[in-house]
Structure 1
């Protein structure tokens, strides 16, 4: 409970009477001091009683019409309050999250005087992406005589999710053609009870009559049973690269922005089909998020929040050339055979050194995360890798690790040529670079149990492909 300035003014008057009484030899003034003290005590007791009654009848509601918003969107919020009749002065003020922009307190405040509902509508703008929650409305109660006050928090705390602007003309495909990948229910390559028909076989003793394919039986003049593919949940692992180089592109349309769109879509579909979902994120210094696959509903929420909040990690010197593979080194050694120049003599020892290749690969954060953490999961894991094409050798080795033990891998790859500033000034050069990207994508997709999709702005890709056509 707070006391007001008027309370302290009365206390000061009482003390003054107590001091003056002996000086002027007027003992009756002491009675004035006692009277003021008794009055203040009585008013306090009445205030506390009325405050308890108010608390029992007070109803406060704070709501927003939509809880899923877009960055920089402005939406109204509605504050309502009602209580039983009370002589107390009651005001309720809505609390706006610090990351949102709201009006002054006076515009998001209501005064409650009785059983009639008081309401206020005010606009809130949401410039920050993420999940935000309103604070509980603040209730200020003041004694009608202005002596005592109390501040409490009452009411709901609605939560809103603010999503970034959708990347323009998002394209996911192969070789410039849009491709729709199917995720969710997954065949196990084994037969039994299921949904999708697989093959016919002759009826044997013990088979259920419900499995008999009567059309095939009538056609073949003997009982046949239709087998179905068994479907199962799939452990899904998202491996998202957010190194500094993924910041390439216009604000809101970087490589990371486009990859985020696709990873969020996969996370949503995994939740829809009850697939255990996990997340690794990789920055320039290595692993930044480690969430192993789980069906826990809170984990889905955590993964989505992490993807929304993901930003490019600190800048580190980038090796755009990538590691030299053993195959490349071998081809170079063959070309240098018979070359007696000083240059060839200097180069040969480096081409014979395989350990340098191993060290370069091991130092790559994406590869090291795949090798160290993904291999720990054990069992069947479906891995989705989100990165760019800047270090193809390291990516290839990471994919090989991820597909071990019969696992499947899908790679979502952003072509650097579609994001680099000024890259489309020379469309012929851009087309040649895209052709190199497509060659690498096809080579990577030629690996067993590996699918590779390009991700980027469809309008820029169309401009590049128009040159080739």
Structure 2
């Protein structure tokens, strides 16, 4: 409880009267000071009594018109205050809007003495994806002499999903993919819902398989073959390290990758594919949901994806492959991943292979062994370093104990090419791999100021993406703003370049 300006005036009056009574030795004046003080204490008691009654009978509701919206959407939010007991207090109630919400003016209402109910509605914009919980509404009560602020527990949650604009590009070399994210078929036929083929009847087919309309149309028995239902075990590995925060406030690398990851999770739920999630920050794994039925995991996966924010920077990342001034990875031989034999795809050696090669060289003492031994020693150190990188460890953790073949979806950017090469090489041992890459050149503020250099950086990125796609069982796709990519490609065409 705090005195208002008027309350402090009354306190000052009582003090002045007391001082005057002492100075002029006037007991009557002192009696006036006592009366003013007693009146003030009475008002204080009445304020505390009314405040207690108000707290018990006040109802405050913060109600957004929608609890699930897309980024950039404007949603009306209504603040309603109702009190059942009439008191002498005036109440000023302010809504506890989340930090991620934007409104022109605060949402507040005033309940004056004698007023039982009031409400106000304002439009709120939600520019940031995630789950946003309202804070407690703040209620300031005053009787003119004293004031106090209390809170009410009316805290709804609004889930803001990344918008699905046509401007998000997912594809290869500037070509957008047409297929839905995460859909898959099967090479087997049997009971299912997807039609595989219509063929002529052969002995052994059951009557249930006969397509009567096709039989009547062609004049000979035809049967329908359906794709057999099959599950694909989907593991999402989402990188939300500091580098993934690059971009505008409403369109970062993480925002775009999150949108595609949510779509893949939704497809897994629709197809009843087992679904798991591993999230990785600068210090390591930040969350893990084991592979299980989407009926069990989808809700948790979706909430964790929406709650992701870029983590703090701990050390500078490697130079991105989107620039022409890229330096080779530390301790990596220049040709260890770029030299190719025509007709063969790259197949990175495992740490065990390197250790074995190093041991074999250690047994010999000829000039050839002495020349190559330092090279293999450097490789051994490099592999140990990569194995400690967060993304590599996340994939290793998520796939080590997983049973059966996996479809691993890695959502990251191009800022750590060496680590990503090793991570993909590890993940493909467990099955197919989809790498969703956010090119830094498409997100950096001012990245298109020098459009020709931006095109050169995109070409470098495209070379890296193709290098990853060249691995067996690996598909690498770019994820970024379609308008910025179109501007870069147009600049390349105008100068005769080709990505």
Instruction: Give the secondary structure class of the aligned counterpart of 1:91.
Output: strand
Name the CA distance, whole Å, in 2 between partners of 1:350 and 1:111: 80
Shift, 1:166, TM fit: 8.2
Name the CA distance, whole Å, in 2 between partners of 1:330 and 1:437: 14
Q: CA RMSD in A?
A: 5.2
**Counterpart position of 1:241:** 239
Which of 455, 458, 461 is the aligned partner of 2:485? 458
Q: Cα distance 1:80–1:155, how it changes in 2: closer, same or farther (>3 A)?
A: farther
Shift, 1:141, TM fit: 6.3
Shift, 1:275, TM fit: 4.6
Contact 1:239 1:386 in 2 (8 A): yes
Shift, 1:303, TM fit: 2.0
Instruction: Give the secondary structure class of the aligned counterpart of 1:197.
Output: strand
User: Residue deviations 1:391-434, cap 9 Å, x none?
Assistant: 556534433432334x3221112345556746633477457536
**Counterpart position of 1:305:** 306
Residue 62 (structure 1) aligned with residue 73 (structure 2)? no
Q: Cα distance 1:212–1:157, how it changes in 2: closer, same or farther (>3 A)?
A: same
Shift, 1:299, TM fit: 0.7
TM-score (norm 2): 0.65
Which of 364, 367, 374 is the aligned partner of 1:350? 374
**Counterpart position of 2:352:** none
Q: Cα distance 1:81–1:368, how it changes in 2: closer, same or farther (>3 A)?
A: closer
User: Residue deviations 1:48-89, cap 9 Å, x none?
Assistant: 69976x788755432234543646x87664322334573543
Instruction: Give the secondary structure class of the aligned counterpart of 2:478.
Output: strand
Instruction: Give the secondary structure class of the aligned counterpart of 1:463.
Output: helix
Name the CA distance, whole Å, in 2 between partners of 1:246 and 1:85: 53
1:216-295 correspondence runs (5 A) = 217=215, 219=218, 221=220, 225-232=223-230, 234-246=232-244, 255-271=253-269, 275-294=273-292, 295=296
Unaligned runs of 5+ in 2: 19-30, 320-326, 342-367
Name the CA distance, whole Å, in 2 between partners of 1:418 and 1:379: 37
Which of 358, 367, 371 is the aligned partner of 2:392? 367
Shift, 1:348, TM fit: 3.5
Residue 384 (structure 1) aligned with residue 412 (structure 2)? no
TM-score (norm 1): 0.68
Q: Cα distance 1:233–1:56, how it changes in 2: closer, same or farther (>3 A)?
A: farther
Unaligned runs of 5+ in 1: 17-28, 332-343
Shift, 1:374, TM fit: 2.0
Q: Cα distance 1:416–1:95, how it changes in 2: closer, same or farther (>3 A)?
A: closer
**Counterpart position of 2:451:** 424
Name the CA distance, whole Å, in 1 between partners of 2:51 and 2:382: 79
> Computing the radius of gyration over CA atoms, which structure comes out larger, 1 or 2?
1
Contact 2:181 2:260 in 1 (8 A): no
**Counterpart position of 2:463:** 436
Shift, 1:195, TM fit: 0.9
